[in-house]
A and B are shown apart, each in its own frame.
Chain A
Amino acid sequence: MKQLTVISGKGGTGKTTLTAAFAHLADNPVIADCDVDAADLHLILSPQLVKQEPFYGGQLAWVDKEQCSKCCLCEETCRFGAIHGFEVDNTSCEGCGVCAYICPEKAISMKERLSGYWFISDTKEGPMVHAHLGIAAENSGKLVSVVRQQAKDIAEKEKKNLVLIDGPPGIGCPVIASIGGVDMVLAVTEPTLSGLHDLKRILEVADHFNIRAVVCINKFDINQDNSRMIENYCEEKGIELIGKIPYDPSVTRAMINVLSVVEYPCGEVTSQVIRMWRKIEELLF
């Protein structure tokens, strides 16, 4: 069983659009949406919910005002500035439990923090694991790990040969959780200075964790000079460029019609994405 994560560094370069297309093209995949704080893959794959589970991402301090002697020790000790006037600011509390430990009146207790939900669903392309991070909740990396573990379990149980992972933007904790231990990452970029800048950083992250990376340029014809710059950069670094997708407004129309770009006629985009997927299969299997 192989694992592939689609990442980008910069947001909005086309990760989810490509993941949805790959889900359609892949033989026998389990699909995991690891962009847990702004998940979009379900908007194309229309999952039928099979199972929903709460996600407890750490703890939250709670002050019992009846027992509180207003000594302020908790406020002084909290490194996150999460206690003001004997009340806990939920968005700042990181659940370390130091306040509960230090409180002489034992007025502070730590409660499980409901930080979101994760789901197992059926889609026409195969089983899908996805999640919803609670409003202003923390620990998205931990939720990503849960989603990935569930997807892996399903793949093993149902003898699937691929876990296809839609990654989040950025380079921080949810990204690191999305790419840890996968067989390959596909970095999707665009021919803008931002795209190139962010591509360099995400490729460094992949390299830092020793993960094989390949690159594709989306909307490459928006700026051909920048596209060549990206190509040169990849060549220099010995990273394979596996596809160049042109800009086409029909990609958005496919999305509006709840279809992937390989199910809705998107001209050259469709054929390029199919060609790219064949390449990925060659590299993975």
Chain B
Amino acid sequence: MEWDLPDQVKEADRDQEKDEATAGEWAEAGQPRGRGENASALPAEPQRLTRPASRVISLSVPSAGQVWRGSRGARSMVISIASGKGGTGKTSVAVSLALSLGTCQFFDCDVEEPNASLFLRPSITGKTSVSVLEPWIDESKCSHCGECSGICAYHAIAAFEKNVLLFPPLCHGCGGCILVCPEKAIAEGKRNIGVIEEGTSNSIAFIQGILNIGEHMATPVIKDMKRLIRKDMHVIIDSPPGTSCPVIESIKGSDFVLLVTEPTPFGLNDLKLAVDVVRELKIPFGVVINCDGIGDDRVKEYCQKGNIPLLLSIPWSREIAEAYSRGIPAVEARPDLKEIFRSLFQGITRITESKRDYDVQLGACR
């Protein structure tokens, strides 16, 4: 079985080794740059969640020599693993990447159906409940003016002549009803919609969110989880499938999005949708094809035509599929794969660093 790492990643690997001797400096071909004044133009907080939108949308894999070669490890990065289609192997890739990195923070943001804990088997050390704000009404003060139901965009509150009805699952907690109530009859309560669990699995700091059964909104849970993102280590985010709000909440603010797909018509269709989303969010991204060989070549052709970095192809293997079914990560079933995933990480580093560099140059031109 051949694991197909595209040439650019293999090259990146070799360069990385070669460059170790000159670790700890910014270097760009023909234009060496120290950590002096130029370096201060670099984003001070690489992990900031609200990085200003970049003008760079698509990019090709950078040349060597534009990479931060830190002797104390590369800058920490937030990498999200996403896909339009479900069941393509997001969790599998995310877990394998995390295990290959060793030390990192792992976020299972698929709060509707979190599965990563089945593979990482963390010991859970803390639980925090997630609540959303929700109005409650003091009927004795209410004058039934109807202002509250007038402003509510979600039809979560309906005022009648004699009473007011609340529909808690529809409430987004915007606070509009409280603002408009002339009688100050509305106060804010809290409603639990899920829980965040924190724990560890070897040197991986594990965080997962779990949405309560019957709750509609996953985004508040994801938002709360992402407050726990640390800046001193790499962060892997396992995103839910699809392209709508929970996905956007999960991948927003990432330095890189890895889109996992399968080489089938469904996989291709949903990959295109996911690409539209990450382009809209202006986050650099690359593609991993999982179960390569089960379908056709149209995903590869699409990546080639669209100048999208295809970072890794994982062939379908019964061995890995069976290990997966028992909750065993691919890199544990096949330890030799750790190296492949480390190379994948190097490829990602290369792309994000070059983008950062490019942004700095753009900034200097403005």
**A, B bound:** yes
Size category, B interface: 35 or more
Residues of B264-299 at the interface with A, using a CB-CB cut-off of 8 Å, are 264-266, 269-270, 273, 276-277, 280-281, 294-296
A197-B85 in contact (CB<8A): no
Interface string of B104-115 (1 = CB under 8 A from A): 000000101101
Instruction: Please tell me which one of the listed residues B244, B269, B273, B294 contacts residue A140 in the complex, with CB atoms under 8 A apart.
Output: B244
Given that A58-B153, A201-B113 are contacting pairs, would A12 and B87 also be in contact in the complex, using a CB cutoff of 8 Å? Answer: yes
Determine the chain B residues whose CB is within 8 A of the CB of A29 once the complex forms. none
Given that A12-B85, A84-B50, A138-B245 are contacting pairs, would A226 and B174 also be in contact in the complex, using a CB cutoff of 8 Å? Answer: no
Please name the residue on chain A nearest to B118 by beta carbon. A193
Q: Is B347 an interface residue (CB 8 A)?
A: no
Size category, A interface: 35 or more
Kindly state the separation between the CA atoms of A205 and B241 in the bound complex, as whole angstroms.
18
Determine the chain B residues whose CB is within 8 A of the CB of A222 once the complex forms. 321-322, 325
Given that A40-B269, A98-B179 are contacting pairs, would A252 and B281 also be in contact in the complex, using a CB cutoff of 8 Å? Answer: no
Q: Is B64 an interface residue (CB 8 A)?
A: no
Given that A59-B153, A169-B242 are contacting pairs, would A136 and B216 also be in contact in the complex, using a CB cutoff of 8 Å? Answer: no
A96-B322 in contact (CB<8A): no
Q: Is B15 an interface residue (CB 8 A)?
A: no
A98-B151 in contact (CB<8A): yes
Given that A10-B86, A255-B264, A256-B264 are contacting pairs, would A101 and B176 also be in contact in the complex, using a CB cutoff of 8 Å? Answer: yes
Q: Is A267 an interface residue (CB 8 A)?
A: no
A172-B216 in contact (CB<8A): yes
Q: Is B345 an interface residue (CB 8 A)?
A: no
Q: What distance in Å separates the Cβ of B131 from its nearest Cβ neighbour in chain A?
A: 13
Q: Is A27 an interface residue (CB 8 A)?
A: no
B174-A98 in contact (CB<8A): yes
Kindly state the separation between the CA atoms of A173 and B154 in the bound complex, as whole angstroms.
13
Kindly state the separation between the CA atoms of A11 and B326 in the bound complex, as whole angstroms.
18
A169-B295 in contact (CB<8A): no
Q: Is B211 an interface residue (CB 8 A)?
A: yes
A140-B176 in contact (CB<8A): no
Q: Is A52 an interface residue (CB 8 A)?
A: no
Residues of B114-161 at the interface with A, using a CB-CB cut-off of 8 Å, are 115, 118, 133, 151, 153-154
Instruction: Please tell me which one of the listed residues A59, A80, A171, A249 contacts residue B112 in the complex, with CB atoms under 8 A apart.
Output: A171
Q: Is A178 an interface residue (CB 8 A)?
A: no
Q: Is B309 an interface residue (CB 8 A)?
A: no
Instruction: Please tell me which one of the listed residues A176, A194, A205 contacts residue B91 in the complex, with CB atoms under 8 A apart.
Output: A194
Q: What distance in Å separates the Cβ of A11 from its nearest Cβ neighbour in chain B?
A: 1
B270-A38 in contact (CB<8A): yes
Q: What distance in Å separates the Cβ of A256 from its nearest Cβ neighbour in chain B?
A: 6
A133-B244 in contact (CB<8A): yes
Instruction: Please tell me which one of the listed residues A43, A197, A223 contacts residue B113 in the complex, with CB atoms under 8 A apart.
Output: A197
Interface string of A27-64 (1 = CB under 8 A from B): 00000000111101001000000000000001100000
Determine the chain B residues whose CB is within 8 A of the CB of A169 once the complex forms. 86-87, 112-113, 241-242
Kindly state the separation between the CA atoms of A96 and B265 in the bound complex, as whole angstroms.
38
A94-B246 in contact (CB<8A): no
Give me 10 A-to-B residue pairs in the complex whose CB atoms sit less than 8 angstroms apart, sorted by A's number. A10-B115, A11-B86, A12-B85, A38-B270, A84-B50, A170-B112, A192-B325, A197-B113, A209-B214, A256-B295
- Which residues of B are interface residues toward A (Cβ below 8 A)? 50, 84-88, 91, 110, 112-113, 115, 118, 133, 151, 153-154, 172-176, 179-180, 211, 213-218, 240-248, 252, 262, 264-266, 269-270, 273, 276-277, 280-281, 294-296, 321-322, 324-327
